[in-house]
Chains A and B, each alone.
Chain A
């Protein structure tokens, strides 16, 4: 589904602060795979997502999505194929618009004619059903402005906006990190069921290693702009958090330095 070949991204090239954020990275995702991504601060996790979304162009390498070369495709065109949820709950929704208007924006972007009234009657039924699946009571608050919702509720709405038209690829960038533990678990639960029910190819950055190993079907660890470990199946099932930490220090001769990662170990 997603294939990244030899991706290189260098920031501030030719200056003293030159920094290689992606270093000849190769990655291939099968259809329906759910990959969790971990790594220390500055390992290039978010850079990888930005490169896939087209926030910037690569210095070298190619990106293919569903067989199509998207290396130089503009950001807003890729966006119709890629859904992305950020850590900041403020980022994914328009605060002064209602839940149903936000959802309509996401839902009708591919199908609606420019001058048709939005949201349409059929849409409203769909939104209500999908919101009800979350068990958060949001289906009864569809005329509420999103700015009045809690962080967890906003992330749930954002997740639905990203998946209501199933994307070819779903990118989750620590989307539960800004939430309190109970809400984070709730949003993770919604994430798991959505990904499963709609068979979405997904990548999720997380700083919670336990979560990384228990969620999804495959885990990659990034370091210095490249993939350090890539494990799935029984190998992954047998790996514990401590194993992973040990493997990291052995191969890199240094301790894993992600403060939040260590806190939640």
Chain B
């Protein structure tokens, strides 16, 4: 039972991360490595502000921090024309130092004595709040992104990811659209980090290592179940994918002989296999055609 509840909580917390990843990975069609930095940025800012006694303020502060990180990547990519992957790597590397200084020069910060949003919900115990709040935040974020990507600006961003040449030839500023998209994406990723910090009661800078793969796994698992039909469905399936991912991980740690530190490797393999699926399918198809062709001739 505890395992089920824990996975549900984590699934929704990291569901917010999955929404951010969906924006960069599927809508802009760029895997954005800023994620690794902006998740930790959200984590650190949230922990720092919370330890100063403002757990609520910590959340918008973390989102702003993440959005700023996204803006830097967007700027490097669109204005300075640096390769998309490299732009993310540059921002991510720079953020490492920023995060350390936000945490006061140490790689971790405990919030054991601090007040967190999970202790502030009226009528709910801390444990209940740990279930209710992630659901509320994830659903609110879900509603917000679905709305945003159906507004005019959201539509422009989707078009940039879909057919950039066309958008460049229309009067829409492609660079501006991309920067906005990176801001929204990394803002969400940082919010996810911010919630995780308060949920765990500590911030550890290394917890963001490999977080991009976690997000990608959620998005891909979601797509495997729901297909790729519309953005609305894409966002919903990303959150659902995050939940399923957590259950897979929970089962893997409980029943498999693998030690917990092998988890990221398992995630990496899941993502690699899922991404390889189209190529594998083609391979099988070719092999079948060859066989069939031989019979007819």
Contact = CB atoms under 8 A, between A and B. Distances in A.
A98 to B, nearest CB: 9
Question: What's the dominant secondary structure at chain A's contact region?
Answer: loop
Given A91-B165, A97-B159, A105-B159, A118 B151 contact: yes
A76 B152 contact: no
7 contacts: A75-B169, A76-B173, A91-B169, A101-B155, A104-B152, A117-B147, A117-B151
Contacts of A113: 152
Interface residues of B, number: 21
A37 interface: no
Contacts of A110: 171
Interface stretch (A77-85, A212-220, A239-247): A77-85
Given A93-B166, A94-B159, A94-B166, A76 B151 contact: no
A161 B167 CA distance: 12
Contacts, number: 73
Given A114-B153, A116-B151, A109 B166 contact: no
Interface in B134-169: 147, 150-153, 155-156, 158-159, 162-163, 165-169
Given A93-B166, A109-B171, A118 B152 contact: yes
B295 interface: no
A92 interface: yes
Nearest to A54: B169
B170 interface: yes
A79 B171 contact: yes
Interface string B155-192: 11011001101111111111000000000000000000
A91 B158 CA distance: 16
A180 to B, nearest CB: 23
A116 B152 contact: yes
Contact of A77 (B147, B162, B171): B171
A117 B154 CA distance: 9
